[in-house]
Amino acid sequence: MTRVMVKDDPSTSPPAGPPGNEPPPDEEAWARSRFAGVPHEPLTDADLRRWPFGIGTAETRNGITFFRSRHPDGFTSDDLHQTPEDGRRYELLDGTIVVSPSPGYTHQLAVAHLLTILVGAQTGTARTLPAPFDVTLTRGRILQPDIVVMPHIKAKIPTLVVEILSRYGRGYDRKEKFDEYEASGIPSYWIIDPDIPAISVFELAEGRYEQVIYIEGSAMCKVERPFPVSFSPAALLA
């Protein structure tokens, strides 16, 4: 675990304007500049110190970096929208900006296959969408599931969210995101582990998620919510 404390570090403020009457630098463009490391790996120490906003602490757990603001109210959705466009995933959790490395081949293969299956099975006004797609749960919470099913085009809360575990952030999907999806009342949450391969299906019952299905390998997973669909975890990696 990496933990970096930053207090009035010059690297957390936009660079000073040039001398004379020249216009100051474009702070938004500077904030959107790329970090130094490769997107599919965790942020490096140099990246942590280069974060373009005033931070209090930066903590990395299992490859996921949690940036906490030095301001009592934390980071906002405006701050989230100023993060670099570098292929990583940026989310907002209780005023903390969470940075995940970009997914790898196996993860994206599973996303592509499952997306095709769900789109082919969706009924009525339901629509299936892949990341990046911001799901605003409550004030200070904006997450990006790997796949969402929205009940209709104007819906704010999905009826299904899917997370496909990656090399990094497995605990984040199983704990922090699990808790947020549950608290927000999302009816169904699927966690897919490509390493096994396996799927865990959780459905909301009296405000709490209950695991109703666990399937491995070539066995068929059959669900009814948000619409009837069946597939095997192994088929997602074919």
- Which of the two residues, 42 and 140, has the higher pLDDT score? 42
130 has pLDDT over 50? yes
The pLDDT, as a whole number, for residue 146 is 97
152 has pLDDT over 80? yes
Average pLDDT over residues 157-166: 97
3-state secondary structure the chain: CEEEECCCCHHHCCCCCCCCCCCCCCHHHHHCCCCCCCCCCCCCHHHHHHCCCCEEEEEEECCEEEEEECCCCCCCHHHHCCCCCCCCEEEEECCEEEEECCCCHHHHHHHHHHHHHHHHHCCCCCEEEECCCCEEEECCEEECCCEEEECCCCCCCCCEEEEECCCCCHHHHHCHHHHHHHHCCCCEEEEEECCCCEEEEEEEECCEEEEEEEEECCCCEEECCCCCEEECHHHHHC
The pLDDT, as a whole number, for residue 52 is 66
Kindly give the pairing relationship between strand 141-143 and strand 96-100.
unpaired
- pLDDT tens digits, 74-107: 999 999 988 888 889 999 999 999 999 999 999 9
Reported confidence tier of residue 13, pLDDT bands at 50, 70, 90: very low
Domains of the chain with CATH codes:
2-100 (no CATH), 105-237 (3.90.1570.10)
CA separation for the pair 148, 196 (Å, rounded): 22
Reported confidence tier of residue 20, pLDDT bands at 50, 70, 90: very low
Reported confidence tier of residue 24, pLDDT bands at 50, 70, 90: very low
Residues in the chain: 238
The pLDDT, as a whole number, for residue 55 is 77
> Which residues, other chains included, contact 47 with Cβ-Cβ below 8 Å and sequence gap of 6+?
35, 36, 37
